[in-house]
Amino acid sequence: MWKYIEKLFNIYNKIREFLYKKRLTKDISRDNIIMKSISNKEKYNLKKVRTSKGEENMNLLEMNPHETKYIPLIGSPIGGSTASFLYNKIFASFGVNAMSYPVEVKKGELPEFLSAMKYMNAPGFIATSPHKQDLTAFMDEIDDASRIFRSVNAVHVDKNGRMEGHGLDGKGVIGAFDDNKVDLKGKEVLMLGAGGISGIFASELAQRGIRKLTILNRTEEKARYVADTLASCTEVVTASGAYTAEN
């Protein structure tokens, strides 16, 4: 546990040191801190937020560090992930005094990390591979789809330390359909692959009213498991098979 407390505080101190140096740099632009990279804010319904000084959007350099919420992103390997960068841009655009940062947590080390979280006063954390399935065993509360398909990637931790888990990957897929104005109701859908988050995808598709879902996967047993599980808890007609060069 203390290993992770030390790791988290080391990252925290590096962030503060970085911000201090940037505060003394005259040529830094606010636009490098706020969500400059999102070109179409209206598409994502991102509203400008005014600070107590009347300025639009939150500037990370002007936030009170004693009030900043730190939200770890855990996984292994974590070095190539760009998720924290995106989350920080979103926080800035919405005027949220929060910061996400990556933490290397190897498989089997979740208990140590979760114990360390109690000392960080963090509102939650984000998880990527290889922890999405393992996290379900540690949750005090979990939504039905995440529990059935054993996939959690976002955890909220309340003031009493209770953890509420959600699998949000499927909502991102559905968002892509919504952006392109695709109505899924009554449709037949083909899914290629049956990995760890495929069940969450399937559940979201079912909630949108698809009629049939066919799942193909190199390991046919995994496709059959997701298809049969979805059929057992929804009215969606399912089918499964092997994903081969022929099909």
**Catalytic annotation present for 132:** yes
Coil vs helix vs strand at 170 = helix
What single string gives the DSSP state of each residue in 36-99?
TT-S-TGGGT----B-TTS-BS--GGGS-TTTPEEEEEEESS-TT--HHHHHHHHHHHHT--EE
Q: 47, 89, 106, 132: which one is catalytic?
A: 132
Which of 41, 76, 58, 217 is closest to 238 using CA atoms?
Answer: 217
Coil vs helix vs strand at 155 = strand
Distant-in-sequence contacts of 210-213, Cβ < 8 A, 24+ apart? 210/184, 210/185, 210/186, 210/236, 211/186, 211/187, 211/236, 211/237, 212/188, 212/236, 212/237, 212/238, 212/239, 213/188, 213/189, 213/237, 213/238, 213/239
CB 100 within 8 A of CB 87: yes
Q: Catalytic site residues?
A: 132
